[in-house]
Structure formats: structure tokens, C-alpha cells
Chains A and B, each alone.
Chain A
């Protein structure tokens, strides 16, 4: 493997690792403040216990996320110095703002974790809200920077260099809003349903456990709402991709020929040498409709673009299929949940449904990872679409295999430890009942 591939792989797994903590840092604080608000409203101590549990989870995940995020800010330069030199002035602003959002999150998470008995209840709740909000804002800024890489704006090219740089315009890239929306909803859906799965797993053994029933309810409400909304944001995103990155759209769909009324493909293995996508189910005209809201709109095929500018079509297509599959399953289960709730007005807790929630719980994260693979692989061979090639952005430093394996090892160890710690947290909470909840809550406050 070449140094370029090692650099890409290292960047890839660093991001893939960080994104899990980043989305947890977006969604968990929201769940935590919802539980706290319910505690303040109802006076039910079970909600306070839930809040404290999720706050502990947030603390661990935030700490790891803070570290992996710091690493990324360095890696951008260490692996891609030419990219940073070229675009630092243009997208530095959202990164700086992200730094602020991160700082705000850290400060108020500190107040939240350590301030249980030291600040007023409303101040405490507000600190939690600020944590949730700044977590979401971090994502807004980082995704904005990424959106610029996909659909660069806010500068004029003179020769190979950007001039007349306008960082505000760069933040308003056409890709920014659709990508941000899709990412935020995905984060809430993924973490909501993941946590719902964990609580459902324990409820399967102990159906009447009030702690887990209530926690499950909050997770389900958030996760299902967002999972139902996610396809809508996907639609907005797809139209933007069709307009700004036609080659990416063609790769997503394995569309080689330019045509009107292009079909949507389910499955299939794009073959770039034969320029066709066999083994797929084609739904006539649907792609044209989804991309342009017109059944007869023209879709540009890959053949319209020079071969050297094609992304790795097979991988982009497969990741896209995987993302859509995961999202669809989550959406269906969420609709079931909504239907059951609307009919019975009770928490959907029959064993079959609980099992389904457990089964789909990891799918949100799978969808997020594969979705980012689509975005990033789909932009190749460019790091800045149409302007700077990835191979021209990589560091001249040789021997990148060494840092690749070092970081891979460290991240694997970290992942294992985080999982062990979280499992321990969950199993500790498995035995909680209503009666013991308040005792546990007061015990927690000594620890928090």
C-alpha cells in the first residue's frame, strides 16, 4: 500500500472513531436534559436517576471525544499539509467557531456534572441545555467545513490559488444546510435508538422495571421521531448532490449512462470495466424523481466525466445501499412504534417489539459510518471538489504505515475499554427498581 492510502486510511478511521463520540455528545445531553426536565416537572426520583446515569455516560464519551477531536485537528495538518495550506484561510473560521462550541460544552458539562448541589435547579437544567445545544453547534460547524470541501464557494481561483476569500460565503456552501440537517437528525436517531435497544434488552428480562421503562420511553420518543424524519432530510440532501456533485450521484446509484427518467437501483454491483450495474432491482424513473422531483429529469451518468475523476464507484454504491437499508429498517420500526403508541397510548413493550428494537439498535451507527463513507469516498479523487486532488494534498513524509498502525492499535484499545466501561455502567443500572432508585440517586451524587 502507498503512503497516500495509509494517510487516507488513518484519517478515515480517526474520523470513524471520533464520529461515534461526536454523535453521542450531540444526542446524549439532549436525552439527559429531557429526563431532568421530567424529574423537575413530576418530582419522580426515577427520572433523576436516569439523568445521572446518562450524565455519567456523557462524561466518559465526551472525554474520549474531546481527545479524539484534538487529535483530528492535528492530523489535518500532519497528513494533509497542502490541503490546510490551501484552504486554511477559507475554512478556518468554522473550525475556530467549533473550538468555541467545544469549549462551551466542556465548561457547562463541568458545571452540570459537579454542580448538582451547588447551583440552583433551573441553572443546572440550563447548563444541561447549553451542553446539548453546543454539542449540536459543534456538529454544525464541522459539517459546514466538510460541506465546503464537497461544494466549495467563497473565493475566486487565480491560477491554482484562491483569492478574494470570503469565509462567510464559504460557510454558506450549498451543501452546508442539507448536510448539517441530515447529520443532526441522524445523530439523534442513532443514539436514541441505540440507547433504546440497551434499555429494551434489560426490559426483556424485567418488564416492570420502572427505571428502564421510563428511560426506554425517552429514547424511543426521540429516536423514532428522528428516524422517521431522516429520509426527508435525505431527500433535500440528494437534490443538492444532484445539483452540485453529479458525478457523486452517479456513483451512488451506479448510473453509467446519461439518461432521462433514470431508475432507482436497489442492490447491484457496479462494474466499472463493463460500465454497468448488474444484479440490481430497478424502479423505473424513481432516481430522476428523487434527484429533481421530476420523473423525466435528466441524470448525468459516469461516462459523461473523465475516467480519472470517477470516485471508487463500487464502494460508494455499496455504502450508500447499506446506509439506505439501515435507515429504512429504522424508519419502519419507528413507524410501528408510533402506530402502537397512537393505538394503545401506552409504552410499546410487547416482547416482539422489544426484540426488534434490540436487533436494530446498532443500525444507526452503521448508517452514520456508511453515510460518511459515501460522502468522503464519493468526493474522491478530490479533497476539494474539482480543485485540489487528494494525492496532491498528502504530506511528503515517507513511512506513513508506522503512524497508521500505531494509531490503529491505540484506537482499538480505546474502543475496547470504552465498551467495557459502558457495559459495566449498564449492568450496574440493570438492577435498579423504583424503590431503590432514590437511594441510588443520592449515592450517585457522592460519586458524580
Chain B
């Protein structure tokens, strides 16, 4: 049985995982909204809007869960991240606001085309920037340039350098293409017509190619920028197994896409993204924020951690069935043609 801090760290990673494969697809959907082209552009956009529908508000909860666990169980880490990454986190928030509200307003505002397009544009651009920033934040906490001791350091050293560099941007780009990939694969399942399925099949394969390139780029940049992380990724025994599994998922999802087995592709695509995330999590262990902050030295009161785990466990027992029920009700909805 793992101890409380480790268990909470695992729960955070699970929450991030769920955020990536569900919320991530919402972001990716926005990217395809932006890139919708050709004579089926409107159908593509409607498909994405229909697929995001009621879930996106719920999906934010995974991110909130991470934030809440971080400040309740590891208050020191929360404070360190909030200070050093003030700028990207603030921009991330602006992105979340713009995206969420633009999507809702598009749904409830006038159905006139130019109004719809205006909200759609904001939604799409914010969908592009927000996952980039998420990736940048993940890159920054893995890199080992965030110092807890800020006395006597310049503004640039404390607030800009930890995240404003090639490695972090590469991780941001990687997050973006991964989410776009997921969204495109999901869309191949939801699409009603064969033409639409083909549109998103092509997009998914293209995004898969981009994922491979960016993964390589991140790995190469890590040698100089994030040596601790890379060391852990390259030289651990678990890492080989995990990377092999990730590669198998990636190949399987690509083959399934090519063969138009879209349900199979969805399964492997979600697996691929999850494994990449868990690989990162294991490589990051035991750090929350490299180079100083770990799950042991950042932890708060033990009593709170125990209660937090109890609350999360009992909440999960109630909420997972409810969430499943919502997805079932919603599945019903998208099996019917969208009437706008």
C-alpha cells in the first residue's frame, strides 16, 4: 500500500490523464474548428460542437481536482508553481475563460452566421493557445529551472526563464498536436457520413505524424534542457517497457485508422496519450517541481491528506456511475442527427 503523499500524487496523475483524454479532445476539437476547410467545413464544425456539447463543463473538474489536491496536500508546491509560473498560468486562465464562454455563447447566441463565426473564431484561437500553455507549464516543472529562493534574482530569472525557452515550447506544441490527434480520432467515431469520417481520418493521421516529430524534438531538446527528466526516461528499466507499449499503441492506432476501424483507433489513441503521460509522471517521480520540490518535502498535514483521500474515494464511488450515466444519455443524443 503506497503512503498518502504517493497515493495523492497518483490520483493527480489519474486526474491529469482523464483531463488529457477527455478535456484534451475538447481543446483539439477547437483546433479542427479553426482548420475546418473545404465544402464540408460547416459539417465538420457542427460535428465538433455536437461532440463537445454538455461534457466540457464537467471536464474542467479534472483540472480543478489537480489544483485542489496540489494546494491541500502539497501547499508548498502550489506556492512555488504559482509564483514562478505566474505569467503562463495567467495566460492559461485567460485562454480557459475565452474558450469556455465563447463556446457557450456560440450555442446560445443568435444563429446568424456572422455571429456564430465570431464566437467560433475566439473559441478556436483559445483552443489553440490554451493546450500550448498547459504543455509549457508541464515542461517548466520538469525542467529543473524553477528556484524556490527568489531573493536577489532579476525579474527575468524568476518569472520568465523557467518557462520561456525552446524545450517548454516544444512540450507545448507536443501537447497541442496530441490533443488534436485525439479529437480527430474521436471525430471519426462520431461522424455520421463516410465523407466526414474520411476527413477526420486524414486529419488524425496527419496529427499522428506531427506527434512523432514533436516527441522526437522534445526528447532531443531534453538532453540539454531537462537532463534529469531525460536521464530518468532513457535509463530506467521501466522506461523501456513503457516506451515499447506507447509505440505499440501509436502503431496500432495508425493502422486501425488506415483500415477504418475507428472504434479500435479510439481505444489505442487514448492509450497512447495516457502512456505518454504516465511515462512523464514516472520520469518526474518523486518531483512535483524540479529541482527542489518533491512529494515528500512539499507535503502538508497528514490528517488533511488522509481525509482528502477518503473524500476523493467516496466521491468517486458516487460520481463515476453518474458520469457514466451522463455519457450514456449523451451518446443517445449524438446518435441522432443534429438539428440546428
Contacts and interface: CB of A to CB of B under 8 A. Distances in A.
Interface in A66-105: 66-68, 70-71, 73-78, 81-82, 84-90, 92-93, 95-97, 99-100, 102-104
B209 to A, nearest CB: 33
Interface stretch (B69-77, B139-147, B233-241): B69-77
Contacts of A387: none
Given A73-B67, A395-B82, A417 B105 contact: yes
A111 B301 CA distance: 38
B244 interface: no
Given A63-B57, A106-B58, A85 B322 contact: no
B217 interface: no
B332 interface: yes
A89 B105 CA distance: 37
Given A73-B67, A74-B93, A92-B68, A111 B308 contact: no
Given A67-B100, A92-B304, A103 B58 contact: yes
Contacts of B294: none
A310 interface: no
Given A70-B63, A81-B78, A165 B304 contact: yes
Contacts of B161: none
A114 B61 CA distance: 20
Interface string B85-100: 0100110111011101
Contact of B53 (A67, A100, A108, A114): A114
B159 interface: yes
A56 B304 CA distance: 39
A418 to B, nearest CB: 8
A428 B258 CA distance: 48
A92 B319 contact: no
Interface string B4-20: 00000000000000000
A85 B326 contact: no
Contacts of A81: 78-79, 82-83
B315 interface: yes
A92 B72 contact: yes
Nearest to A115: B329
Nearest to A155: B301
B220 interface: no
A403 interface: yes
A75 B92 CA distance: 11
A429 to B, nearest CB: 14
Interface string A144-184: 00000000000000000010011110000000000000000
B248 interface: no
Contacts of B110: 424
B282 interface: no
A167 B58 contact: no
A278 interface: no
Interface string B278-290: 0000000000000
Interface in B99-131: 100-101, 103-105, 108-110
Nearest to A14: B93
Contacts of A64: 100-101, 104
Interface string B41-57: 00000000000011101
Contact of B72 (A86, A88, A395): A88
A131 to B, nearest CB: 12
A414 interface: yes
B278 to A, nearest CB: 23
Given A113-B54, A417-B105, A71 B97 contact: yes
Nearest to A80: B82
Nearest to A76: B71
B58 A114 contact: no
A52 B148 CA distance: 52
A435 interface: no
B265 interface: no
A89 to B, nearest CB: 3
Given A63-B100, A67-B97, A93-B304, A421 B315 contact: no
A204 interface: no
Given A77-B79, A106-B57, A395-B83, A92 B101 contact: no
B187 interface: no
A410 B329 contact: no
B311 A97 contact: yes
Contact of A118 (B79, B105, B332): B332
A425 B68 CA distance: 35
Given A102-B61, A414-B97, A96 B308 contact: yes
Contacts of B329: 110-111, 114-115, 118-119
Contacts of A165: 300-301, 303-304
A308 interface: no
Contacts of B318: 104
Contact of A106 (B61, B83, B109): B61
A70 B64 contact: yes
Nearest to A56: B108
A99 B83 contact: no
Interface string A410-440: 1000100100010011000000000000000
Contacts of B322: 104, 107-108
Given A102-B64, A110-B330, A165-B303, A421 B72 contact: no
Contacts of B1: none
Nearest to A417: B105
23 contacts: A59-B104, A67-B60, A68-B97, A70-B64, A70-B96, A71-B97, A73-B68, A77-B71, A77-B79, A78-B93, A84-B79, A85-B75, A86-B75, A93-B307, A95-B71, A100-B319, A103-B58, A107-B325, A111-B325, A162-B301, A396-B158, A398-B155, A407-B94
Pairs A-B, 10 closest by C-beta atoms: A92-B72, A89-B300, A88-B75, A77-B82, A110-B54, A165-B301, A85-B79, A63-B104, A81-B79, A88-B71
Given A88-B78, A97-B311, A410-B97, 8 more contacts: A63-B104, A73-B64, A81-B78, A85-B75, A110-B58, A114-B53, A162-B301, A410-B94
